[in-house]
Structure 1
Amino acid sequence: MIVSLLYKVPRKLLTVPSVFLRRGTAKDAELLVLRHESTVLRRQLTGPVRYEPADRFWFAALSGLILRHHWSDIFPVTPGTLLAWHRRFIAAKWDYTARRGTGRPPTTAAIKKLVLRLARENPTWGHRRIQGELTRLGHRIAASAVWEILNAAGNDPAPRRSGPALRQFLTTQAEGIIAADFFHIDTALGGRLYALVFLEHGTRRLRITGVTARPTRDRAVQQARNLTSDLGIRIESLRFLLRDLDDRYGEAFDAAFEAEEMDILTSAPQAPRMNAHRERIIGSIRREALDHVLIMNEAHARHILAAYERHYNEHRPHQTRNQLPPDAHEQPVVAHALSTSKALRTRILGGLINEYRYAA
């Protein structure tokens, strides 16, 4: 780029007066050539004459201003030498050898991350299938490069991989899973109550169907039937009921869901991570409500849990739903200007939980 500018600048500057030089003052150009030749000779008093790139560009720029029959008398080089300089200049311009490292350029970190993401989210894809998807996304990368990335990360680049893990299965089947579990509530007088909670994985919608001190199988079956009738049309999208091996469920409990063409999935004993969403919702209920209230009796527990259920479904934001509550289907309104609007607080359970909204 710099070499090209060294030639273009004097060439452009000399183009303007060229018309006048050809009309009778061409000898001024000859003088410029002679003066520059003198400068070159003074710079090298001993040894052979060597022309620097700047000298070559200067002579090339003046070459178009000298009459051809005066070349042999004025120019220190022949036209063939001038053309050889030009060929050398063009060759150097398009020679990327010095500007290019040896071997194939390294794959960027972003491409590597995308390759590993595709392999993680699609466990049955091999390195060639991943390469095809990358090509469709506009990333030109060799299949061997994808193979090396997967192999370096400890992933099998071959297309035969094991089936999805439980976490991957739950992620892909989230829209069709509802989880159930019993959890206990200790009252102020030392008694123990039990509540049956259901959580839809896809929408994160919470349902607490009842509170009782005697969680019998008959009660559980009745709560299951009530839930299936309350779900209405939404139950058509549910395909699996995920529960543990608690004997309070029983066959009749499962039959209530199997009648809706749902399959029953059971988690292994002492494996809470197999029903992680259920464990998290029970932990949220305790941390945000039950741990801060002395429960007196069943009626009091029902009141607390019903208020929390409304708050959870209608207001509480969820990261997996882009900070939307389960019952919301669109993004909230645009933020108000803090200088002109005031957020209003709504107290839930006497201020134990707060909800904030702007005045309409």
Structure 2
Amino acid sequence: MLRRQVERPRFSWADRAVLSALARHLPPVFRRHRLVTPGTLLTWHRRLVRWKWRQPPTGPGRPPLAEETVALIQRLARENPTWGYVRIQGELRRLGHRAAAATIRRVLRRLGLPPAPQRASEQTWRSFLRSQAHTLLACDFMHVETVFLKRLYVFFVMEIATRRVHVLGVTARPTGTWVTQLARNLLMDLEDRAGRFRFLIRDRDSKFTAAFDAVFAGNGTAVIPTPPQSPRSNAFAERWIRTVRTECTDRLLITGERHLRTVLNQYAEHYNAGRAHRSIGLRAPDDDPNVIPLPAATVRRHQVLGGLLNEYLTTSPRLPHHPQETPSSAS
């Protein structure tokens, strides 16, 4: 009964180490009555040797790329659609990252980015406008209802790169001849800057006649009509119409052409010189991007359109005035 109650002893690693070390020094009499066999001792010894020399488990193949390297590969591929795998590999090496061309191909496939020729051919209208922004002009009409329910039309042109707006004219009956003359006036106002513009985006309004296109063609500017019923193709001009309505014309009662022309001229001046734009780094179109304004102690408000809009200007504090003392004349 006692033998059935006693279970087989379980040795810990300390017990096994002690028994393995002392087994050689036991007398021959006790060796016959050892608790373990020689094969068990050898097995324990092999386990100890394997435990001593074991290494942390590693997965098969090469170690994976760092997340920052994968993100950099994706960025280079998206920002440069004409770069192939080897070109990206060379740029990574210049930046201190090493990756094989096959690895770059595998990463781009996993991210769903096609090879360079396909990426270059998938250029969107937005990316085209951004790449050509410094050579683009956009024009359009907007209408405003007066307090006497008379509709007035406003013709404007925007410089896409700087977002500078030119309000060219206001009339109740726009015609092709009127629009063509405003185009001539614009090129005269731009003077030397007119030569930098290569494209003009306009819709298919009947008031844009062949004479209108010929005015810009003489300046070397190609006219690009937007597809029918596609306002997004002229998104910059459409966005300005929404902005001027939200901030200006929808908050005023316009009485006539003269009133609307005065209001829009003041708003265009505010839009070009005193309003921050998200698309150009929260600067105004007329701000110098190379000038970093320093904080000033005095901030003054300048009201536009009778307080409808506010502009804030910084002024440096005035130094105390010390009148110069005139030396007394020698007697």
TMscore range, shorter length: 0.7 to 0.9
Aligned residues: 274
Deviates more, 1:147-156 or 1:347-356: 147-156
Cα RMSD between the aligned structures?
2.5
Partners of 2:58 and 2:209 in 1: CA distance: 71
CA distance in 1, matches of 2:215, 2:90: 46
Q: What is residue 48 of structure 1 aligned with on the other side?
A: 21
Identity level (%): 42
| 1:105 matches 2:78 | no
Change (3 A) 1:129 1:346: same
Give the 5 Å matches for 1:1-360. Answer: 46-48=19-21, 97-98=55-56, 100-157=58-115, 159-161=117-119, 162=121, 164-329=123-288, 330-336=290-296, 341-360=297-316
Q: 1:242 to 1:49 in 2, by over 3 A?
A: farther
User: How far apart are the structure 2 equivalents of 1:116 and 1:275?
Assistant: 30
> Does the 8 Å contact 2:81/2:116 carry over to 1?
no
1:126·1:160 contact (CA, 8 Å) conserved in 2? no
- Alpha-carbon contact 2:136-2:198 (below 8 Å) kept: yes
Show structure 1 runs of 4+ deviating over 4 A: 43-46
What is the CA-CA distance between 1:126 and the residue it aligns to? 2.3
Q: Is the 8 A contact 1:127 1:159 kept in 2?
A: no
> Residues of 2 paired with 1:348 and 1:164: CA distance?
41
Counterpart Cα distance in 2 of 1:133 and 1:287: 46
Distance in 1, matches of 2:111 and 2:280, equals 30
CA contact (8 A) 1:124 1:163 kept: no
- Runs of 5+ unmatched residues, structure 2: 1-15, 24-48, 317-331
Give 1 or 2: higher helix fraction: 1
Q: 1:354 to 1:131 in 2, by over 3 A?
A: same
Contact 1:180 1:197 in 2 (8 A): yes
TM (normalized to structure 1)?
0.70
Deviations 1:170-199 (A, max 9, x none): 111000001000111111111100011111
Separation in 2, partners of 1:49, 1:281: 93
Return the alpha-carbon distance in structure 2 between the equivalents of residues 206 and 297 of structure 1: 22
The amino acid across from 1:342 in the alignment is T
- In structure 1, distance between residues paired with 2:138 and 2:85: 36
The alpha-carbon deviation at position 105 of structure 1 amounts to 2.7
Q: Given the two structures, how large is their TM-score scaled by the length of structure 2?
A: 0.76
Please say which of residues 251-260 and 319-328 is displaced more in the overlay: 319-328
Counterpart-to-counterpart distance in 2, 1:205 and 1:45: 88
Shift of 1:101: 4.4
Residues 47-100 of structure 1: CA distance to partner in whole angstroms, max 9, x if unpaired? 3169xxxxxxxxxxxxxxxxxxxxxxxxxxxxxxxxxxxxx9xx97xx9x5275
The residue identity in structure 1 corresponding to 2:198 is R
